[in-house]
Every structure is written in C-alpha cells, then in structure tokens.
Amino acid sequence: MQKIIKIRTDRKNGLFDITKNVLDIIKDSKIRYGIASVYARGSTAAIMIQENWDQSVQNDVVTLLNRLIPSGIWEHDHQDNNGDAHLKAGLVGASETIPVMDGNAGLSTWQNIFLCEFDGPRNQREVVVTVIGEN
C-alpha cells in the first residue's frame, strides 16, 4: 500500500510531526508484520525520527543544523540561495524505515516521525508512505 501525505510548512526551518498520518496509513494497510517506508519528496526536505515530549528537541535540531550548516556561504546560493537547505536535507536523509509490529508502528514511547523543512515555508510538501509486509 502506498499513500502520500501532503503538508503545509510555515517557516524556513522546522520539524513537523507526521506521526499520526503515518500511523493511520499503517492501520489502513491492514499489514500486521512488515515495514513502513517514509520518504520526503524534494531535495530540501528530510525525514527524522526524534523525541516529541516538547518542542525543545525539535528546536535543538534546527539550532544544531543552522550552526553546522549556515546559510549564505555555499556555491549553490548563487543559483537559488538555498545551498544550506540542500546540505541539511542530505545530512539528515530523505527517508526512514519503521518496523510494523502486530499492525502498529514499532516506535518507542518517545519516538515520533517528523518532516524536516529546510527551505520553507511551502504551500505543499509531499511525504510518500509505503507499507509492505504480511497480513
């Protein structure tokens, strides 16, 4: 089964929780044991599994990446002024694979799934969720 999550982002850099969307797709798939692939379409976005107890961890991720990869100093900035967004997305990665265990995502208590936006805001980002396995 494959579905696309569409999400609007409201800032240049941010983590957007898509866990509920992914969980709903896993449940709709009726797969009991297998994997769910979560893939961000676009070269300036990424997928990350991270804690969602409060906003502090997400803020820290953005702060760390901004310090590691500052804007305005990259060769690609001469074309689109978003060289840092491409580098951040490449570093974090376009996808995550999550085990499906007894019909549920095999996430721990504090793990959530985030779309990482590095070149927003965007009217629409797409995340492809593919669930494969056994019923």
Q: What is the pLDDT of residues 4-60, one digit of tens each?
A: 999 999 999 999 999 999 999 999 999 999 999 999 999 999 999 999 999 999 999
Q: What percent of the chain has pLDDT over 70?
A: 100
Q: How many structural domains compose the chain?
A: 1
The predicted structure's pLDDT at residue 122: 98
Mean pLDDT, the chain, integer: 97
**Domain region containing 48:** 2-134
Task: Name residue 125's amino acid.
Answer: R
The predicted structure's pLDDT at residue 62: 98
Angle between helices 55-68 and 83-92 (to 10 degrees): 120
Instruction: Indicate the pLDDT class of residue 126, thresholds 50, 70 and 90.
Output: very high
Instruction: Please tell me the distance from the alpha carbon of residue 21 to that of residue 19, in angstroms, as a whole number.
Output: 5
For residue 121, the domain's CATH number is 2.60.120.460
Average pLDDT, stretch 70-81? 95
pTM value is 0.96
The predicted structure's pLDDT at residue 45: 98
